[in-house]
């Protein structure tokens, strides 16, 4: 999830809005005027895909955490 968050941050910094606000605007059709620009269309498509992947993984993590709890999910590396 951290890699996805880093990628989202790159788009957020480039376009000056948070991913949640971008996604809401995109899915409601408020960014249709940017369809004419190849660079933004490509970026928006990738940004949307990364954000949706991040949402799915976040939801899967929350479900796993709810079912098993932190103690069972926690990865502990043995000290050598």
Q: What averages of pLDDT result for each successive group of 10 residues across the chain (80 residues)? A: 96 97 95 84 95 96 88 77
Q: Structural domain tally of the chain?
A: 1
30: left (phi over 0), alpha (psi -120 to 50) or beta: alpha
Does the global pTM surpass 0.85? no
Residue 17, in any domain of the structure: yes
29: left (phi over 0), alpha (psi -120 to 50) or beta: left
Q: Which range marks the domain in which residue 31 is found?
A: 2-69
Residue 39, in any domain of the structure: yes
């Amino acid at each position: 999830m951290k890699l996805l968050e880093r990628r989202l941050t790159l788009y957020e910094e480039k376009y000056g809005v948070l991913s949640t606000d971008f996604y809401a605007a995109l899915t409601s059709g408020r960014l249709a005027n940017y369809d004419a620009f190849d660079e933004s269309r490509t970026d928006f498509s990738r940004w949307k895909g990364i954000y949706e992947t991040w949402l799915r993984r976040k939801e899967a993590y929350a479900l796993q955490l709810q079912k098993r709890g932190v103690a069972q999910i926690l990865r502990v590396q043995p000290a050598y």
